[in-house]
Amino acid sequence: MFSKSTDVRIVNAKQHHLPVQMRVPLKFGAESVDSVTCLRVEVTVEDKDGRRATGWGETPMLVTWTWPSNTMTFAERYEVVKDFCDQLAEAWSKLEVTGHAIEIGHHFIENVMPELLDAFNQQRSVSDESQLLPHLAALVSTSAFDIAAHDAFGKLHDVDIYKTYNAQYMSHDLAHFFAEEPDAKERFGGKYPQDFLVKSAPDTLPVWHLVGGLDPLEDSELSGDEPDDGYPVTLRQWIKRDGLKCLKVKLRGTDAEWDYDRMVKVGRMALEFGVEALSADFNCTVHDPEYVNAILDRLKAEHSEIDSLILYVEQPFPYDLEAFRIDVSSVSKRKPLFLDESAHDWRFVRLGQQLGWTGVALKTCKTQTGALLSLCWAKSHGMPLMVQDLTNPMLAQIPHVRLAAHAGTIMGVESNGMQFYPDASLPEAEVHPTIYRREHGILDLSTLSGPGFGYRVEEIARELPST
């Protein structure tokens, strides 16, 4: 059963649901939310000698992002996702496969989760297909279990998890995971994830701030209903307090004049404060590349200094690449074009590249296993990387920033949990203050240490609900 001395198996998976209230609304596409529940999971692993260790994983269950819907409320979708999490916990606890956490996670994602999702959807009574739990929502729910398995593997072997993605701990090289690729053995034979990670991960990362579609930029835009809690409210206040150098601008994708004006307004403020990089995020709402092209061309013609700050464009088009096979090469000729919602796994990254996408935004909420495999495939095919946020608070923030540090992104990491629910992470911030507070435009990861992801969870005074 255990083919390698370092192999483990899952013996238990337990979940906790942590409700978090947002201080300001967060807008995803056409929806806004003012609260979220984070799924925190503890997974226990065991080796052939009976030694055990427990690891932790967490993700926000933001169904507005994972499951856009015009026919179901946020609460209805969340209840469905929560029911699926119950089945995930049972399935992870019953896993019989052994190996490294990435091998166990790969088996679950490829073989167990699809069957579980199909059976789950078949049991539900729905009026149309849009009410079926989508793959992305299932994958994000799975991510907390997968991340916890990686943490547990590192803790059992008393080693940083990023020092285990190699032949010493893994039974299979990357050719095994990419076996369906015609050149898998030639390109990936004898290689492991560690071969595609940076040799020496930095302790500090430039940090991106999310400029939401509802966010006031100046005091003149305030309504008087904003929170008075000691945290910044306007973009100007955030830039001054946190020394921001990178701004991600959420756009509508359905109102070209509004989107153009928004980029100009944010761009002017960026120039005023010496911001070094902008990105434009259309959030999957565009169907015609010319919509994006026209905005980019107009910015270049009328505001060349703002245009020069735009480092990349993020996911303008529907995330279902298979259903919407749009040739996006005209956009990527203007600016690097990054997959985000579409990048479920490396196969979608491959399809994206065929359609003209040039880069990939990784997210740990799509599983640590999947993020690493997408990273390896993308890097081997010359695609640059970013690591994007799902508004990660609490423990979810730590694997997120660690992935960015090891991935070698084009510019740091996005991190916006401190914008929307900073107080949610106060217990974690007591141990890791510079991971939950942006200073001088950076996050400092130097407090992370120890096995697994280096959470130091035993030092964090976090009381968890029983389930």
> What is the per-residue pLDDT across 268-309, written as a single tens digit (0 to 9) for each?
999 999 999 999 999 888 999 999 999 999 999 999 999 999
Do 70 and 119 belong to one domain?
yes
Do 187 and 200 belong to one domain?
no
Judge whether residue 425 has pLDDT over 80. yes
Do 225 and 188 belong to one domain?
no
Cβ burial, residue 166 (10 Å; 0-12/13-18/19+): middle
Domain assignment of residue 254, yes or no = yes
**pLDDT tens-digit profile of 98-121?**
999 999 999 999 999 999 999 999
Domain assignment of residue 466, yes or no = no
Do 78 and 181 belong to one domain?
yes
Q: Could you tell me the CATH number of the domain that includes residue 384?
A: 3.20.20.120
- DSSP H helices, 204-309, are 235-242, 256-273, 289-302, 304-309
Domain assignment of residue 167, yes or no = yes
Residue-wise burial string across 128-163, b where 16 or more C-beta atoms lie within 10 A, e elsewhere:
eeebbbbebbbbbbbbbbbbbbbbbbbbbbebbbbe
Do 275 and 170 belong to one domain?
no
Do 183 and 258 belong to one domain?
no
Within 8 A by CB and 6+ apart from 258, the residues are 251, 252
Q: Could you tell me the CATH number of the domain that includes residue 69?
A: 3.30.390.10
Domain assignment of residue 234, yes or no = yes
Mean pLDDT of 423-452: 98
Do 158 and 226 belong to one domain?
no
Whole-number pLDDT of residue 396: 98
Whole-number pLDDT of residue 467: 64
Whole-number pLDDT of residue 29: 65
Whole-number pLDDT of residue 28: 72
Domain assignment of residue 413, yes or no = yes
Do 142 and 281 belong to one domain?
no
Q: Percentage of residues in the chain with pLDDT exceeding 70? A: 100
Domain assignment of residue 459, yes or no = no
Do 145 and 185 belong to one domain?
yes
Identify the helix (H) or strand (E) that includes residue 16: strand 8-28
Do 94 and 205 belong to one domain?
no
Domain assignment of residue 1, yes or no = no
Q: pTM (2 decimals)?
A: 0.96
Whole-number pLDDT of residue 32: 81
Which domain range does residue 164 map to?
Answer: 8-192
| Contact (CB, 8 A) for 233 and 464 | no
Helix pair angle (135-156, 368-380), 10° resolution: 100
* Domain count across the chain: 2
Which of 320-324, 330-334, 339-343 is the most confident on average? Answer: 330-334
Mean pLDDT of 409-420: 96
Band of pLDDT at residue 466, cut at 50, 70 and 90: confident
- Give, in degrees to the nearest 5, the angle at Cα 392 between 71 and 204: 150
**pLDDT tens-digit profile of 25-42?**
887 767 888 899 999 999
